[in-house]
Chain A
Amino acid sequence: MSTILKAVDVVAGYGKLVVVHKVTVELKKNEIVVIVGPNGSGKSTLIKSILGFSKLFDGKILYENQDITGLRTDRLIRMGIGYVPQINNVFTNLTVEENLEIGAYPKKDKNEVKASISEVYDMFPVLRQKKNERAGNLSGGERQILALGRVMVLKPKILLFDEPTASLSPIAASQVLSYIREICDSGISVLMAEQNARKGLAVSDRGYILVDGRCVKEGSSKEILEDKEIGKLYLGLKA
């Protein structure tokens, strides 16, 4: 399989603070890759460095064999990179439909926008039911689905999803993860960060374990899940 995104030797942080120390992650076509690790280990910072939301001190970002290091966020989005942040991932003052319209912002043709929003409604029926609801009034699970829908209107080539299951009920979490599986099956490669290591690894193909901003382990998700030592040491998984 060919590589679609590669972040090479990333050193990233905020201001003068270095949070991520020389980490390399790779995403191949049609893969789900998960970054797991304890709170504050730098998962979000790593993903943000790809988009320009954290400071990239050193390293390179390659996307479809192009060097995209330092390109402006709105340009990256137009190139097919979809991003769902960990927090504040919907426009709370806008309705569900308006959120999707902003998601489709780079498209100028009104009919095209309508068609792609309607496709998103077919994918996530709950959004159609609540299309005139203010996003700030949605439940946590609905919000997360809207956050995903906002990205899907543009049909990105890759999806960067920071904590798909954060603070969701077990049922809502499984629902979001099964959507991610479907999205990947439809041809979109997914790179996500997850605190819930077991759930994250269960739906993904490969994983990276980040601890204190350093990658301590990478491999197939199955291999990581089965490695009891790793599970105990870094992920708080019980045997």
Chain B
Amino acid sequence: MVVVNWLQVLFNSAVTGSLYLLAAVGLTLTYGLTRFPNFAHAEFMALGAYAGYTIAEQLKLGFPYSFIAAFISSAALGAASYLLVFRPLTHRGATIIHLMVASIGLDFFVRHLIKQVWGGEQLSFRMVWPYFDVGPVRITGLWVALILSAIVMVGVMHIVLTRTRLGKAIRASANNPDLAMASGVDVEKIALVVWIVGAALAGVGGLFRAADTRLVPLIGWEILLPAFAVVILGGIGSFYGALIAAYVIGLAENFGVVFLVMFKLSTDYKFAIAFLILILTLILKPSGFGRLFGEGGKVV
């Protein structure tokens, strides 16, 4: 009989959910504004992780600095991707398929650049995190930092989206880009801002994942599938939908692993859980949680 520490599983779900949320927010928001699934998003996560590694482990500057480095380097990559690849393609009339394939190409390109710089070997963070126990739950400083980052991100995004001129323009542009233009909004400028912020958050997500596990060039792809599952379960383009979906998938994955162990199945199947949720959503309710937040689920 396996003894399960359910509270620990619950806490781990919050950790996983926070990671997926940071990874998915940019993916869903850029979809809302540019209308294609960006596979190169995986490398926004990877670059953040590697940049953070260099700062923390090679330059020994400490985690806060590697956090900033992840944020900035991925933001820059996001801006470059939009300005140099996707915006010019859109101007030339590229369809969703063209853009999607281009994003896969960009992903390969960036991943190989990363390999050139950091090598293909597995790297790991040596940094030791303080830990403490709350009742039966073991908590590390890294996990606290991850959950706090997600909470702060949600708070800031919520205020920006509902209270500011920029945020309202983001929601309007995602809902109806032509009408936004016909209201005097420079929709491409708004899209650029969203690409930058979304990529930066993905970079931070990648860094947390790397610090928690290890660092390999495919690290972004490992998170990309669950991130897409979050986007789809949350309703494509919906920020609040993604918020709920990230934690739902976090719970499903962590409790799923417990059941895999109970039924003596390989825990490798845990990677299939997000995939299963993705497929089930598409079959049963393609709009995901999006409709909870109004017509068409476009409540970014």
Contact B182 A134 (CB under 8 A): no
Q: Count A interface residues, CB 8 Å.
A: 27
Closest to A103 in B: B183
Query: Is A93 close to B, CB under 8 A?
Result: yes
Contacts A74-B186, A85-B179, A89-B179 hold; do A136 and B172 have CB atoms under 8 A apart? no
When distances are taken between beta carbons in the complex, the residues of chain B under 8 Å from A92 are 175-176, 294-296, 298
Which 3 pairs between the two chains have the least Cβ-Cβ distance? A136-B295, A106-B184, A77-B184
Contact B296 A77 (CB under 8 A): no
Contact B176 A88 (CB under 8 A): yes
Contact A94 B175 (CB under 8 A): yes
B interface residues, Cβ below 8 angstroms from A: 165, 168-169, 171-172, 174-176, 178-187, 293-296, 298-300
From the candidates B169, B171, B187, name the one contacting A93 in the complex (CB within 8 A). B171
Contact B298 A83 (CB under 8 A): no
From the candidates B181, B185, B187, B294, name the one contacting A136 in the complex (CB within 8 A). B294
Interface centre among B174, B293, B298, B300 (most CB of A within 10 A): B298
When distances are taken between beta carbons in the complex, the residues of chain B under 8 Å from A85 are 178-179, 182
Contact B294 A91 (CB under 8 A): no
When distances are taken between beta carbons in the complex, the residues of chain B under 8 Å from A102 are 168-169, 172, 180, 183, 185
B107 to chain A, nearest CB (A): 30
Contact B178 A150 (CB under 8 A): no
Q: How far is the CA of A94 from the CA of B172 in the complex (A)?
A: 7
When distances are taken between beta carbons in the complex, the residues of chain A under 8 Å from B179 are 85, 88-91
Closest to A48 in B: B178
A interface residues, Cβ below 8 angstroms from B: 51, 53, 73-74, 77-78, 83, 85, 88-94, 98, 101-103, 105-106, 108, 134, 136-137, 150, 154
Q: How far is the CA of A91 from the CA of B172 in the complex (A)?
A: 6
Main secondary structure of the interface of B (DSSP, over half): helix
Closest to A101 in B: B168
When distances are taken between beta carbons in the complex, the residues of chain A under 8 Å from B293 are 93
Contacts A92-B294, A98-B168, A134-B295 hold; do A105 and B178 have CB atoms under 8 A apart? no
A-B contact pairs, 14 of them (CB 8 A): A73-B181, A74-B181, A74-B184, A74-B186, A77-B183, A77-B184, A85-B179, A89-B179, A93-B293, A93-B300, A102-B169, A102-B180, A105-B184, A108-B165
Interface centre among A53, A98, A102, A134 (most CB of B within 10 A): A102
When distances are taken between beta carbons in the complex, the residues of chain B under 8 Å from A73 are 181-182
When distances are taken between beta carbons in the complex, the residues of chain A under 8 Å from B181 are 73-74, 77
A220 to chain B, nearest CB (A): 30
Contacts A105-B169, A134-B295, A136-B295 hold; do A91 and B184 have CB atoms under 8 A apart? no
Contact B182 A91 (CB under 8 A): no
Q: How far is the CA of A89 from the CA of B183 in the complex (A)?
A: 11
Contact B183 A136 (CB under 8 A): no
When distances are taken between beta carbons in the complex, the residues of chain A under 8 Å from B295 are 92-93, 134, 136-137
B93 to chain A, nearest CB (A): 8
Interface centre among A51, A74, A150 (most CB of B within 10 A): A74
When distances are taken between beta carbons in the complex, the residues of chain B under 8 Å from A53 are 178, 182
Contact A150 B296 (CB under 8 A): no
Q: How far is the CA of A134 from the CA of B175 in the complex (A)?
A: 13
Closest to B293 in A: A93
Q: How far is the CA of A45 from the CA of B178 in the complex (A)?
A: 14
